[in-house]
Amino acid sequence: MIPVTFENVPVADVELDRNNPRIRRFLEMYPDPTPEQIYLALGAGGEPAGEGGSSFDKLKNSILSSKGIVQPIIVNRTGGQIICIEGNTRVAIYRSFIDEKVAGDWTKIPAMVHTDLAEDRVDAIRLQVHLVGPRAWDPYSKGKYLHYLRTQELQPFERIIDFCGGNRREVQESIAAYADMEKYYRPLVDEGKYDLTRFSGFVELQKPKIKEAVFAHGFSIGNFAEWIHERKIDPLNTVRQLPAVLANPKAQKIFLKEGMRKAIAALDRPDLEVELGKASIGQLARALTEALRRIEISEMRRLRANPDDETVRSAYEALDELQAFRHEMQLGA
C-alpha cells in the first residue's frame, strides 16, 4: 500500500469528485458550478445564517483571512488524475479567488494525497470524515449517502456500520428515513423548496412504536409526510407524541385540524388539585415533559449551580427509574 503524502498540489490539476453521489446529479446539470452552488449541493448550506452571514460566506472569509486552509483536502491520484475526495468546496473557493484576482497565491492547495485508492476506501474516508469526524454532514446528507452505499453500491450492512462507529440503530433509522422522505415528502414540495431540516421528523418516525401507531390508526406514511409538510407536527421532536395523540379520539381530531401543540394539550393530564400519588405514570410523564419544556433559563442556571438541590436529586432519581423502565420495555419488544 502506497503511503499517504502531504503535498501542496496545483489547484488547476484537482478535479471535483463527480462520482460523489451527493453532488453527481448536480454536476451533470451544471458542468461549471460556482463555489456556492457546490456548497449548497453538498447539503452544507442548510445551517441558519445567523448574524455573521451564511455558513458559505463564513467559510470563504475564513480562508481569505487565514490566507489559506488549515485542514488539508483529501485527494486520490489515479489514472493520471487528482480526484478530490473531501474538500470540493475549498477547491472551488481557491479557483474563485484566482478568477477574481484576489491578492495572494491561490494556485496551490494543501492536500493529503492517496494513490490508486479503491472505491470502497474512498467511501470509508468520506464516512470517517463526515459521519464520525470533525466536519459532519447535515443529517439529511448522511442519510442520503448511507442509502446510496446500501442500495446502489450494495455495501454490506455490517461494513457500513463499521465505517460509522458501530451504531446499528442510527444507521438503520437514517437509511429508512431518507427512503421515506424521498418517496413521500418530495412529491409534496415545489422544486427548490425541499426542506432538508424536515429530515429529523422522518428519523423520529423510525423509532419503535411510532410508525406502527400511524398504521394502526388507519393512516399512511403519505399522511405523515403531509403532516410534516403542513407543519402539523411542529416542533419535529413532538413526533414522539404521535402514538398517544392518535390513540386519543379528542386529541387526534384536534391534531388533524390544528396541529400537534394543541393536540398534546388535550391529552389527559393529572389534576394538580388531586394527590399526585393517584395520577397514572402516563399522566405524570406528560406533566413532567410539559414542566421541563417550560423551565426558565434562570432556573436552569440555579440548578446547575446547586447540584445538591432537592429538585436535582429528585430529577436524577426519576431519570434512573425511567431508564430502567425503558430497558424493561425494550426487552419485551
Is domain 5-117 annotated with CATH 3.90.1530.10? Answer: yes
Tell me what pLDDT residue 317 has: 75
Tell me what pLDDT residue 48 has: 38
Q: Which residues of the chain have pLDDT under 50?
A: 44-54
pTM over 0.85, yes/no: no
CA atoms within 13 A on the CB side of 15: 15
Backbone angles phi, psi at 138, to 5 degrees: -65, 155
Residue 121, CA distances (Å) to 2, 114, 127, 128, 246 in order: 13, 10, 10, 10, 46
Going from N- to C-terminal start, the domains of the chain cover 5-117, 193-331
Tell me what pLDDT residue 23 has: 65
Tell me what pLDDT residue 253 has: 93
Tell me what pLDDT residue 270 has: 56
> CA 121 to CA 43: how far, in whole Å?
22
Residue 24 CB partners (closer than 8 Å, separation 6+): 18
Tell me what pLDDT residue 225 has: 95
Tell me what pLDDT residue 273 has: 55
Tell me what pLDDT residue 187 has: 92
The answer to whether 284 and 270 are in contact (CB under 8 A) is: yes
Tell me what pLDDT residue 119 has: 79
Residue in 226, 234, 295 with CA at minimum distance from that of residue 263? 234
pLDDT in tens, 35-87: 666 666 655 444 433 333 346 677 888 888 888 988 899 999 998 899 988 88
> CA 15 to CA 28: how far, in whole Å?
14
Tell me what pLDDT residue 166 has: 56
Tell me what pLDDT residue 179 has: 93
